[in-house]
Amino acid sequence: MSLAEQLVEMGFEKPQIDSAINKGKAETLEQAIDWITAHESEIASGSAASSEPTLNLSSSAASAATTTAESHGDVNSLKCDECGKLLKDADMATAHALRTNHSSFSECTEAVKPLTAEEKEEMKKKLQERIVARRQEQKLADEQKALEMEKKRITDGKALLELKQKRDEDEMKKIAEANRREKLETQLAKQRAIEQIEADKRARKERAAAEKNGGIIGDVPAPKPQHVVAPQPTRQYDECNLQVRLPDGSMVRHTFKTNDRFEKVTEWIRETQQSRPFILAQNYPKKDFNENDNHKTLNELGLVPSGSLMVKALAHFQT
């Protein structure tokens, strides 16, 4: 809504609005009201000096108005036929029509009385009250907007945190699954090697028994060849990459030696994060580490080459 529309809505006449905007160079509602109240007499004299009204009367209305003016004297004002309000000139009648949607006006010989000092003071008081009320409305609107923006910021922050936690959990699951597959492949390779060794032992015993009994060695059936995949050499790791999720959802990472004891991990978290009493746990596979694990190496605990842990804060503890 423009400044002129705001002034019309508040009840100001068109000459007052034009004077505040064009002469007073008002840019805000408060500046416009201050100009109008300070130059009331100047605006009134300027309106009286206006030459031609902006309202266009029909031919019949114009002839009737001319006849009325000739018979009753000079026309000193315009009167709203719908509410009876006297208006100084056509400009004020136009502003009144815009504000009230009244459309019927007639010429009147009665002059509009200028405002007295008391009336001016009362008008100024009402204007100040309107300014205060409008400022209060704007303040409430700004507070509501700020509240909505804060709610949106909190909602967006929660969504971002949940997305980050889900991504970290997915990463932890991938690392745990990779460790599980590597351990399973190592176990299967060892099992195949043991089965092949047992099969070779049985074949040697059968051949030795056949030779001892004077049998023909060639009659002893040779063990069926087994398609055994040669076990891949187990890779030796020197370092262990651990990522730890803290109670606030943030992630920290650190690299340890594979032969470091688990107590070194707990000491690092306690020193660097200055945490309250806590325990460390593994989400997948599910495991809560205790004091018995402090003297075990990271390799013995299956955290090599990488592992994911989370910090569980202890709400109740004894000192």
Per-residue pLDDT of the chain (319 residues; tens, 9 = 90+): 677 877 776 777 888 888 888 888 888 877 888 788 777 767 766 654 453 444 444 444 445 445 444 444 577 788 899 888 888 778 778 877 877 888 888 888 887 777 677 877 787 788 788 788 878 988 999 999 999 999 999 999 999 999 988 988 888 888 888 888 888 988 998 999 999 999 999 999 888 888 888 655 554 455 555 555 555 556 778 899 988 888 888 888 899 999 999 999 989 888 876 667 888 898 877 889 988 899 999 888 888 888 889 888 876 554 4
pLDDT at 262: 92
| Closest to 293 in 3D by CA, of 284, 285, 302 | 302
Cα–Cα distance measured from residue 199 to residue 229, given in angstroms and rounded to the nearest whole number: 15
Cα Rg, the chain, nearest whole Å = 48
Residue 71, Cα to own-chain centre: how many angstroms? 73
Alpha-carbon separation of residue 185 from 51, 182, 189, 306 (angstroms): 104, 5, 6, 17
Q: Which tokens in the block code for residue 81?
A: 């036929």
pLDDT at 61: 45
Ordered alpha helix ranges (H), 213-228: none
Own/partner contacts of 224-231, CB < 8 Å, gap of 24 or more, are: 226/195, 226/196, 226/199, 228/192, 228/193, 228/195, 228/196, 229/189, 229/192, 231/186, 231/189, 231/190, 231/192, 231/193
pLDDT at 180: 87
Residue 15, Cα to own-chain centre: how many angstroms? 47
Are 283 and 310 in contact, with CB atoms under 8 Å apart? yes
Maximum C-alpha span of the chain = 161
Q: What is the pTM of this model?
A: 0.34
pLDDT at 316: 58
pLDDT at 151: 93
